[in-house]
Amino acid sequence: MQAIVSGNGTGRDTDGTGRVATVLAVDDDPIQRELYGIYLGPPDIRLVTAGSGEAALELIGSAAFAAAIVDYDMPGMNGLELVRRLRADSRFATQPIVMVTGRDDLIGRNPALESGATALVYKPVDWRGLAELVRSLVAKAG
């Protein structure tokens, strides 16, 4: 599932139904990307997915995003490097970034937060909880 949605430059559109946030989800696992689409979707979120950190960096030039969800462990560019690069880009300097990880120790947690992640979610993912977290972070970032 991959859709690029045009925006108004803020990652949010008003389309008669209220505010719609465009969220980027980055994961090398196609099943995980499909689950993001199921739980984070219309009417209040438009989801754009990428299968790698490199693909995600290409996408941020073509759409404005209100938030991102990034997998920690990916081949090639891992989630830590992707978050660092997103934070270095002015378009993502303040947007919420949620990192999803199977690492549940401090060795995995500290680098994720130090890289610039706003929040950390552990696998197995509570999909409804993740959706609520993302919606809450986007609303607060307003």
pLDDT digit string, tens, across residues 93-126: 999 999 999 887 766 678 888 999 999 999 999 9
pLDDT score at 107:
67
Is 4 inside any structural domain?
no
**Local structure of 23: helix, strand or coil:** strand
Is 3 inside any structural domain?
no
Q: What pTM, to 2 d.p., does this model score?
A: 0.85
Q: Is residue 1 exposed (0-12), middle (13-18) or buried (19+ Cβ within 10 Å)?
A: middle
Give the chain's domain count.
1
Name, of 2-6, 7-11, 76-80, 100-104, the range with top average pLDDT: 76-80
pLDDT score at 18:
65
Residue 48, domain extent? 12-141
**Local structure of 71: helix, strand or coil:** strand
pLDDT digit string, tens, across residues 17-61: 367 999 999 999 999 999 999 999 888 899 999 999 999 999 998
Q: How far is 115 from 81, CA to CA, in rounded Å? A: 8
How distant, in Å, are the alpha carbons of 20, 57, 58, 81 from that of 85? 25, 8, 12, 6
pLDDT score at 142:
79
Is 6 inside any structural domain?
no
Is 1 inside any structural domain?
no
pLDDT score at 78:
97
- CATH for 110: 3.40.50.2300
Is 7 inside any structural domain?
no
